[in-house]
A = this chain, B = another copy of it.
Amino acid sequence: MNAPWPTVAIVGVGLVGGSIGRALLARGLAEKVIGVGRSRESLRRAKRTGAITDASLETTAVAEADLVVIATSVATIPELLEQVDAVVRPSTLITDAGSTKASIVAAWERGRKRHRGRFVGSHPLAGSHRRGPEASDPELFAGRVAIVTPAATTPANDVEAVASLWSSLGATVYVMNPREHDKLLAATSHAPHAIAAAIAASTPPAALPFTATGWRDTTRIAAGDAELWADILLDNAGPLAVALARIATVSERILTAIEAGDRRRLVKLLSNAKEVRDAVGS
């Protein structure tokens, strides 16, 4: 069997981009993976870990690719999409791996008529607070979820092609519209991130020696890259505010029950939370 995407270009060879490259090569889904990065050093590291076969500092290197994946910070994706689109062959498939989708898809759609490539946004839910190609893992997407977010006018064939990329890397694929994606991720990722940061930053220095697994688990994602996360949160302000308000409401209910000494009510609230958490699994 020939590789479905003989030549793939990956713009951004960090944890996610590097893992995509390694997964494609390990599974024989690509023969050539061109990494496009901002520094010779990161490209060298990506090559050393086996994430890419070729490297370039120029976005124009994506020209020969059958598939282009943009795996950079969300704030840079719309502009990179335009740069990629300007050089690819007509009808080359393009996707991204950004954590927000509405603004990226909307930006692409504004130029739909003049575009050469076919873009379908996606988001593999497989990040980590770790970074760089050294943290990459060809099995990063196995057993995980990937969300594909077509615009209203995206051809079904293109949606299927991008969905097949992620499912061939082992992910379970969901297709939904970009705004729905952003609402869901505000609840499951962006709001927890903001809260984890708030817990970490508000812990008095004198208390830090007395942190145990609870604090460490709860705040782990606050170790994520501040610039990357700032761009994600800024890009999803509306749904994030809604999700944070929902958390604040439940948190206030918990505190009200505590201050009223209402054990029955408090047990009920904590049991609700436990039920949800237990259903998700470790």
User: How far is it, in angstroms, between the C-alpha of A280 and the C-alpha of B200 when the chains are bound?
Assistant: 10
The answer to whether A254 touches B218 (Cβ under 8 A) is no
Quick check: is A233 within 8 A (CB to CB) of the other chain? yes
Residues of chain B contacted by A269 (CB below 8 angstroms)? 197, 201
Residue contact A184 to B206, C-beta cutoff 8 Å: yes
The verdict on A48 contacting chain B, using a C-beta distance below 8 Å, is: no
CB of A111 within 8 Å of the partner chain = no
Contact with B along A19-48 (1 / 0, CB 8 A): 000000000000000000000000000000
Judged by a CB distance under 8 angstroms, whether A57 is at the interface is no
Report whether B251 and A212 are in contact in the complex, using a CB–CB cutoff of 8 Å: no
Report yes or no: B194 in contact with A251, Cβ–Cβ below 8 A: yes
Are A259 and B241 closer than 8 Å at their CB atoms? Answer: yes
List B contacts of A279 (CB < 8 A). 208
Q: Which of A238-265 contact B (CB under 8 A)?
A: 240-241, 243-244, 246-251, 254-255, 258-259, 261, 263
The verdict on A221 contacting chain B, using a C-beta distance below 8 Å, is yes
Residue from B213, B223, B230 within 8 A of A267 (CB atoms): B230
Task: Flag if A230 contacts B270 (CB, 8 Å).
Answer: yes
Given the interface pairs A188-B203, A272-B201, the reply to whether A210 lies near B145 with Cβ below 8 Å is yes
The answer to whether B125 touches A198 (Cβ under 8 A) is no
CB of B214 within 8 A of CB of A274, answer no
Docked Cα-Cα span, A195 to B210, in Å, equals 18
Decide: A258 and B240 in contact? CB cutoff 8 A: yes
Residue in B191, B211, B227, B273 whose beta carbon sits within 8 Å of that of A188 in the complex: B211
In the complex, the answer to whether B251 meets A195 with C-beta atoms within 8 Å is yes
* Residue A153 at the chain B interface, CB threshold 8 Å: no
The answer to whether B244 and A255 touch across the interface, beta carbons within 8 angstroms, is: yes
Question: Do A199 and B194 touch (CB < 8 A)?
Answer: no
Contact-size category for A: 35 or more
Partner of A212, one of B145, B219, B255, B267: B145
Task: Tell me the bound Cα distance from A185 to B251 in angstroms.
Answer: 18
A118: interface (CB < 8 Å):
no
Q: Which residues of B contact A266 (CB under 8 A)?
A: 230, 233-234
Q: How far is the CA of A83 from the CA of B266 in the complex (A)?
A: 28
| A157 within 8 Å of B (CB atoms) | no
A249–B115 CA distance with the chains assembled, in angstroms: 45
Pick 25 A–B contacts, CB within 8 A, sort by A.
A125-B211, A127-B213, A184-B204, A188-B203, A188-B214, A191-B199, A192-B218, A195-B199, A196-B218, A197-B273, A198-B251, A201-B250, A203-B276, A208-B276, A213-B221, A217-B221, A218-B221, A219-B273, A219-B280, A223-B274, A224-B270, A226-B271, A226-B273, A237-B259, A237-B261
